[in-house]
A and B are shown apart, each in its own frame.
Chain A
Amino acid sequence: MSVPSSNDSILSVRGLTKVFYSGVFRRQATVAVKDVWFEMKPGTILSLIGESGSGKTTIGKLILKLIQPTSGQIIYKGTDIAHLKNKEQLRDYYRKVQGVFQDPFATFNPLYRVDRIFNMVYSSFGLDQGKKDEQVREVLESVNLDPDRTLGKFPHQLSGGQLQRLLIARTLLMDVDILIADELISMLDASTRIGILNLLVDICKSRGMSILFITHDLNLGYYISDYTLIMYKGRLVEKGDTKKIYENPVHPYTKMLFESVPDIHRKWDRSEEFLPEHVVQEVREFYAANEGRGFEDVEEEHTVLFSDR
Chain B
Amino acid sequence: MSENILEVKNLRAYYKVLKGEVKAVDDLTFNVRKGEILGVAGESGCGKSTLANTLISRKPPLHYISGEVRLLGKDIMHMPSEQFRKMRFRNISLIPQYALDAFSPTRRIKQFISDLVRDHGIKADQKFMAKVVDRLRLVNLDESVLDRYSIELSGGMKQRIILTISTILDPEFLIADEITSALDVSSQRYVATMLANFRDEGIIGSAMFITHDLSILYQIADKILIMYAGNLVEIGPTDEIIKNPRHPYTRALIASLPQVGIQYKDHRLEGIEGTPPALLNIGEGCRFRFRCPYMSAKCEGSPALENVSLDHQVSCWYWKEVESDVSA
Contacts and interface: CB of A to CB of B under 8 A. Distances in A.
A17 to B, nearest CB: 23
Given A189-B43, A191-B252, A218-B260, A262 B216 contact: yes
Interface in A248-303: 256-265, 267-268, 270, 274-277, 279
B189 A268 contact: yes
B256 to A, nearest CB: 5
Contacts of A265: 259, 261
A201 interface: yes
B290 interface: no
A276 B216 CA distance: 17
Interface in A7-65: 51-52
Nearest to A189: B43
A190 B253 contact: yes
A159 B275 contact: yes
Interface residues of B, number: 42
Interface string B245-261: 00000001110111111
Nearest to A225: B263
A150 to B, nearest CB: 14
Contact of B257 (A159, A224, A264, A270): A264
B264 A219 contact: no
A194 B189 contact: no
A219 B218 contact: no
A51 B275 contact: no
A192 interface: yes
A119 interface: no
A259 B186 CA distance: 8
Contacts, number: 127
A222 interface: yes
B261 A222 contact: yes
Contact of B260 (A194, A197, A216, A263): A263
Contacts of B43: 189-191
Interface stretch (B57-65, B108-116, B265-273, B310-318): B265-273
A217 B187 CA distance: 13
A242 B196 CA distance: 33
Contacts of B258: 193-194, 197, 219-220, 222-224
B215 A264 contact: yes
A154 interface: no
B79 interface: no
Given A260-B185, A276-B187, A198 B260 contact: no
Given A51-B184, A264-B242, A190 B219 contact: no
Interface residues of A, number: 43
Contact of A216 (B184, B216, B257, B272): B184
B257 A257 contact: no
A268 B185 contact: no
B268 A198 contact: yes
**Most B CB within 10 A of own CB, among A258, A261, A264, A275:** A264
Contacts of B260: 218-219, 222, 246, 258, 261, 263
A282 B80 CA distance: 54
Contacts of A201: 264
Interface in A163-217: 189-195, 197-198, 201, 216-217
Contact of A264 (B188, B254, B275): B254
Contact of B264 (A51, A224, A267, A275): A224
B256 A194 contact: yes
Contacts of B44: 189
A134 to B, nearest CB: 26
B269 A52 contact: no
B256 A190 contact: yes
Contacts of A267: 218-219
B10 interface: no
B188 A262 contact: yes
B263 A263 contact: no
Contact of A161 (B218, B252, B257, B275): B275
B230 interface: no
**Most B CB within 10 A of own CB, among A192, A194, A223, A258:** A223
B190 A219 contact: no
Interface string B225-255: 0000000000000000010000000001110
B189 A191 contact: no
A136 B187 CA distance: 43
A96 interface: no
A223 B253 contact: no
B269 A194 contact: yes
B186 to A, nearest CB: 4
A243 interface: yes
Contacts of A262: 185, 188-189, 192, 213, 215-216, 218-219
A198 B43 CA distance: 20
Given A219-B258, A222-B263, A258-B260, 18 more contacts: A51-B186, A194-B270, A217-B185, A220-B258, A222-B260, A222-B261, A246-B260, A260-B185, A262-B185, A263-B259, A264-B214, A264-B215, A264-B259, A270-B193, A274-B189, A276-B184, A277-B140, A279-B186
6 contacts: A191-B271, A194-B269, A217-B185, A223-B258, A243-B263, A262-B189
Nearest 4 interchain pairs by C-beta: A276-B186, A262-B215, A51-B184, A191-B272
